[in-house]
Structure formats: C-alpha cells, structure tokens
A and B are shown apart, each in its own frame.
Chain A
C-alpha cells in the first residue's frame, strides 16, 4: 500500500513537473514559430532568445486576481479548469516512454486514452455553461459538436492500426513496428489512417484551422472568455499538454514509438512527438479557420467515410493475407 502511494506521488510529481516545463516550452515555441513564419523575431527580451518570457507570463498569471462573474454557476465554474486538467494528466501517464518505462501500462491503453481525451470536452462545456456568457456557451457547444465529430475518424484510424498490430496495448503497437514485428512504421502501411489521425487530433485539441470553439474574431475567447489568472492558465496548460500527448500517441501509433537507432527510447518518442507538434503549429500559422458548417461536413461527409473504407480495406487485405 505504501509502495503504491509513493509510486503514485513520485509519478504525479515527475509528470506534473515535466508537463509544466513542456507547456512553457511549447508556448515559447509557438510564439517563435509564428514570428518566424511572419518574418518577425518573436519574444527576445526576457532571457536569451526570449526563453524566459513564458516563465514571466506564468508568474504574471499566478499573481492575477481570480474573477468570478456574478451570474456564474460558481461550483461548476470553479470545477471546470480542474476537470480540464486532470484527464490530460492521466493521458500523459499512459504513453509508453520506452520498452520498460510507462507510468501506467494498460492492456487496453489505446481505448483508455481515447476515452479520457473525450473527457476534456465535458470540462470545456462546463466552463462555457457555467460562465453564463453567450460567447462562452457558444464556444462550449461548438467544442462538443466538434469533438464528437472528430473522435470518430481518430478512433477508426487507430482501429486500422490495431487490426495490423493485433493488440490495443500501446507498447505492443510500438513493438509491432520494430524489427521484431512488422519492421515498418505504420505511417508507411497506413498512410490514410495517419493523415486522418493527424487531422482528427488537430481538431480535438481545438487548434487552427479547427479552433472554432475559441475563435477570437467571433467568440472573444470562446469557452474561457470569463476565466482569468491561473484558471485561464489551466485551460492553456491543458491545450498544450493535449497537443504533446496526442502527438506522442501519434508517434506511438504511426511512427514506431520509442524505437529508433542510436538514441535512447524516451528521446526518440519525444523527438517524434515534438515533430508532430511542430507540424501542428506550422499548420496553425498557415491555414485560415474553417466555417462551422464546413468543419462539420468535412468530418461527417469526408473523414468518416474515408476512415470506414480504410478500415474495411485493411481488414480485407489482412484476411486475404493471413
């Protein structure tokens, strides 16, 4: 029992610490990427190349007053930032860092991850609803509709990978792409599923071009319009952590996870995950935001049929092959 508690405490502390640093880094990276794409320099003043800018921002947010609107549903309003944060923390613990290291190695890890990442949307809707603000409610409802639509192609894309790997254990999926298993990363065997998955996670993390739940030009800030200080920072934290975790999941599913020459496993996994995150940032600063009906018809009329066809074709090919 004591052993379990200490493991839990140490694991939580390590993951929390890493994720906090990761968020600071990703926000800095996002600002730098956007700046370089627009041929600016981005943050330069605080620390070398502005690396400490996000630390300063975080300190500022910590010191800010936590405002609660008078008409807000206080309990739900208070609970939403906590709720948005906890699933991402659980998600991070499920990613296998290498053959031996994962904080929680589940036989059905993929299902758990996809189920947990769906939880975030409940918190977002709670935030939108409890704020008692029309823009926040609109943002929350958009987020629900969007995540329901885009979870399906993500799941179907992951399923076609599961069909080939023959397991839902993330470690097993990664091993199936190494020399012992199929030998090829599933990106090559399942290019359609990889593209579908990538589009899906971009939408699930509410990132441009699918960032309509927080479309600044239409909804002020969307679901987090009324949030200030550290509560707002928690939404930010959750968004960027989600990016990394779903990027790491993408790396596990399609890029061979921690398998790679020369470098140790966790380094490879993080390199692949950050590469996916960098592409997401690149996309954000390239593409304009979709209109809401375009977003929905893109998911239901294109992504889901393609994902279904891909799944059936994969199953047929496998049935004939074996």
Chain B
C-alpha cells in the first residue's frame, strides 16, 4: 500500500513538473533579438556627448577646459578658437578617450554651459585602440559660429 502511495506521489510530481514546463511553453518569450531589436536604455549613462540646444541647433561648448581639468582620468581633450567679433570661444576639437573614461560624470557637473550629457549608447566595441577615441564634435559638422552664420 505504501509503495502504491509513493508511486502515485512520484508520478503525480512528474505530471506537476510537466505542467510547469507546459505553462512556460505557451508563455511569451523574454528573448530580445538583439541586433534587430534594441532594449529601452533611456536611463543608461553611456559615453558623454554634446547636447544639441533647440534654439541654436548646435552645442554650446565654449572650450573653457573645465572638463579637461576636472577629469580624473585625463581622457578629454578640448581645443578652441575665438570667432571674429565674438567674446566667447568655440570648440574646434573635443575628443574623449573612452578606453580610460570611468563614466564618473564630473565633466557633466562642472560644465558651465550644461552642454555635456551621458549618451544612451551601450554597445561600444572596437578593434583598435585609436578607435576608442570618440570625436564629440563629429556629429555637428560645420560650426555656425565659426563660419559666421551665428553670432
């Protein structure tokens, strides 16, 4: 009798297990097909980038070098130039060596014009060391201040 009861218990536990896997079988998959689908990473802090302000449709980096000075890993390099007839400098070079950046965010805090922010890029991968250097001015093209379109 005890044997029969144990057998029944064992067989029932197997059926319970198959019920669990069966339920999971019909549930929706949680896999994201990564290169085709991308997760929502709006809260992610990736490598820094220059903000675009809607009023001027460009960044507002004045090449003050505050970020360069505060950066603990010395991974930022900024050069600037003064447009003709202007009091403010404009950045002509802004690079970030992401291989040494620790994403501490001090540059973002110290920026007087609030033009730095974390990007939402999360899949940084490259094959060579020079490729880790991000050109932050790259996406902006010709500077409207330096070419005289804006003053």
> Which positions in A face B, CB cutoff 8 Å?
33, 35-41, 44, 282-283, 285-287, 302
> Contact check: which of B7, B17, B20, B29 meets A36 at CB < 8 Å?
B29
Q: Does B106 contact A (CB under 8 A)?
A: no
Q: Is the CB of B27 within 8 A of A39?
A: yes
B-side interface mostly: helix
Given A282-B18, A283-B18, A287-B14, A38 contacting B33 (CB threshold 8 A): no
Contacts of A37 in B (CB 8 A): 21, 24-25
Complex Cα spacing A44 to B27, Å: 18
Shortest distance from the beta carbon of B21 to any chain A beta carbon, whole Å: 4
CA distance A39 to B24 in the complex (A): 6
Number of interface residues of B (CB under 8 A): 16
CB-nearest residue of chain B to A286: B21
Q: Which residues of B contact A35 (CB under 8 A)?
A: 29
Residues facing A in B17-67 (CB within 8 A) are 17-18, 20-22, 24-31, 33
How far apart sit A282 and B14, CA to CA, in the bound complex (Å)? Answer: 12
- Residue pair B18, A286 in contact (C-beta under 8 Å): yes
Closest residue of chain A to B26 (Cβ to Cβ) is A36
- How far apart sit A200 and B47, CA to CA, in the bound complex (Å)? 59
Closest Cβ neighbor of A35 among chain B residues: B29
Query: CB-CB < 8 A to A286: which residues of B?
Result: 14, 17-18, 20-21
Q: Contact between A39 and B17 (Cβ–Cβ < 8 Å)? A: no
**A40 → B minimal CB distance (Å):** 5
User: Does B31 contact A282, Cβ atoms closer than 8 Å?
Assistant: no
Measured CA separation A247–B26 after assembly (Å)? 24
User: A39 to B17, alpha carbons, bound, how many Å?
Assistant: 16
Query: Are A282 and B33 in contact, with the CB atoms below 8 A?
Result: no
Contacts of B28 in A (CB 8 A): 39
**Chain A residues near B14 (CB-CB < 8 A):** 286-287
Q: When chains A and B are docked, how far (Å) is the Cα of A286 from the Cα of B18? A: 6
Would you give 25 A-B contacts (Cβ < 8 Å), ordered by A?
A35-B29, A36-B25, A36-B26, A37-B21, A37-B25, A38-B24, A39-B28, A39-B29, A39-B30, A40-B29, A40-B31, A41-B29, A41-B31, A41-B33, A282-B18, A282-B22, A282-B25, A283-B18, A286-B17, A286-B18, A286-B20, A286-B21, A287-B14, A287-B17, A302-B7
